[in-house]
Amino acid sequence: TQLLEQSPQFLSIQEGENLTVYCNSSSVFSSLQWYRQEPGEGPVLLVTVVTGGEVKKLKRLTFQFGDARKDSSLHITAAQPGDTGLYLCAGEDSIMKTSYDKVIFGPGTSLSVIP
């Protein structure tokens, strides 16, 4: 059962445009992470959000964790070709957590920024 949903699945935009991608769940997460994965590479951690309503900025990327800690968004301002990649959200499931940290990934949003 997929616990994390991401939208849109695919996104193709022109350089300089703004965009927002979403990560949603019916479950509450104790923390949520965003990764970017490029072809042939493993995911690279961009940010971890922990507190409901938290907003974090990383240069042109703005991450927000929902107040109820069930959803998150990633906003990119003035997208550049180097932003191209698969954006994955991953949550630590606070309900299903057992003796280890089980990180659940969403299916990802594939972003293509055209020069």
Partner 1 sequence: ETGVTQSPTHLIKTRGQQVTLRCSSQSGHNTVSWYQQALGQGPQFIFQYYREEENGRGNFPPRFSGLQFPNYSSELNVNALELDDSALYLCASSSPGARETQYFGPGTRLLVL
What is the torsion angle, in degrees rounded to the nearest 10, for the CA atoms of residue 101, residue 39, residue 37 and residue 90? -40
Closest contact distance (angstroms) between CB of 55 and partner 1 is 18
Token reading at 6: 């991401």
**Would you call 42 helix, strand, or coil by DSSP?**
coil
Cis peptide before 8, with omega less than 30 degrees from 0?
A: yes
Nearer to partner 1, 44 or 80 (CB): 44
Residue 26 lies near partner 1 (rule: CB under 8 A): no
What is the torsion angle, in degrees rounded to the nearest 10, for the CA atoms of residue 39, residue 87, residue 33 and residue 98? -70
The CB-side HSE value for 87 (13 A sphere, CA atoms) comes to 30
Binding track over 67-86 against partner 1, x by CB under 8 A: --------------------
Closest contact distance (angstroms) between CB of 62 and partner 1 is 20
Residue 24 lies near partner 1 (rule: CB under 8 A): no
Nearer to partner 1, 41 or 67 (CB): 41
Q: Residue 2 — φ and ψ, nearest 5°?
A: -80, 120
Contact with partner 1 (CB under 8 A) among 31, 64, 73, 84: 31
Closest contact distance (angstroms) between CB of 100 and partner 1 is 3
Contact with partner 1 (CB under 8 A) among 59, 82, 95, 100: 100
